[in-house]
Structure 1
Amino acid sequence: MLKPDNAGCLEILVVDDDKVVTLLHKNSLKSARIEPSPVLCYNGREALDYLRKNDRPNKHFLLLLDLNMPVLDGWKVLKQLKKNPMQAEVFVVVVTSSINHQDFARAQKYQHVIHYCRKPLTVACTLKIKNLEALRKFFFRNVEENQEN
């Protein structure tokens, strides 16, 4: 049996230039009981700067990454993550308004990308993200293990 756990080991960054969209994403995360509140970055440069500043072994980040942004877009963020590996583990969920199937196919070529959602992030998509194999360990724990301790 699985029980929700504290996702405190996973730091979440919402990376989108639209402040209304970041608020919607933040509310979807809260509705899906993902706490604490995410770090809000309004372009890829802010996100990369934050990641580099907080990079260390045993650290885990989830980026909810828009593709089309000013200053530094999502594609360039993905290229930088590939080109300059970090000590921290970085998972990326692309959250975009793009309906271009080529964007989806292109995103899948980056090892950090674990999922692709359409904007705005819905509670249903957020719940799906929580259950992705790579992220489950941050959101669920085995209740039987805890009862034994």
Structure 2
Amino acid sequence: MKAKLPVIYIIDDDQIIILLHKAQVKTQLQGMDVQAFHDAQEALETLASLNSTGQKNLIFLDINMPRMNGWQFLDQLQERVNCEDIKVIIVTSSLSKSDKDKSTQYPMVIDYWEKPMGSAQLTELRERLGEWLPKN
């Protein structure tokens, strides 16, 4: 039986970045379900409603967003969702060392990338995650 592929979420308030990142992900991680949200609250509600035990989710998350920022999203995610099968990569324009250090406080955050994400990062990510992110 073929392993179920992770669902990929792109959460960013910038529509151009969403389009760019979605194109990169669809090219480098072909065949995976990619969902994009310009509102972190909406993404959180979607994840919280899924009852997705056993469903792997890979989230590319911006930090600086209106209404709910990336840190608030992560705090709420930990409170409301079983994060066992969730991996988060922060993709941000913030070069702040304090932001990068803060990201290490969240066990589901596995990396911190500067915008925009690139194909080399996604290739390395696929190799690094191995079986968690199966080849199609």
Q: When the two structures are superposed, what TM-score results if normalisation uses the length of structure 2? A: 0.88
Match of 1:136 in 2: 130
Q: What corresponds to 1:76 in structure 2? A: 72
RMSD over aligned Cα atoms: 2.0
Shift of 1:77: 0.9
* Counterparts of residues 61-72 of structure 1 (less than 5 Å): 61-72=57-68
Q: Secondary structure at 2:24's aligned position in 1?
A: helix
Length-normalised TM-score, structure 1: 0.81
- The correspondence of residues 22-37 of structure 1 with structure 2, limited to 5 A, is 22-37=18-33
Given that residues 8 and 35 in structure 1 are in contact (C-alpha distance below 8 angstroms), is that contact kept between their aligned partners in structure 2? no
Structure 2: which amino acid aligns with 1:93? I
Tell which has more relative contact order, 1 or 2 (C-alpha 8 A, sep 6+).
1
| Identical-pair percentage | 29
Partner of 1:3: none
Question: Matched residue of 2:105: which SS?
Answer: coil
The separation in 1 between residues aligned to 2:48 and 2:81, in whole angstroms, is: 10
The answer to whether the 8 Å contact 1:12/1:63 transfers is yes
Unaligned runs of 5+ in 1: 1-5, 142-149
For the 8 Å contact 1:61–1:88, the answer to whether it is kept is: no
Structure 1's consecutive aligned runs of 4 or more residues displaced over 4 angstroms after TM superposition are none
Which structure has the larger Rg?
1
Shift of 1:70: 1.1
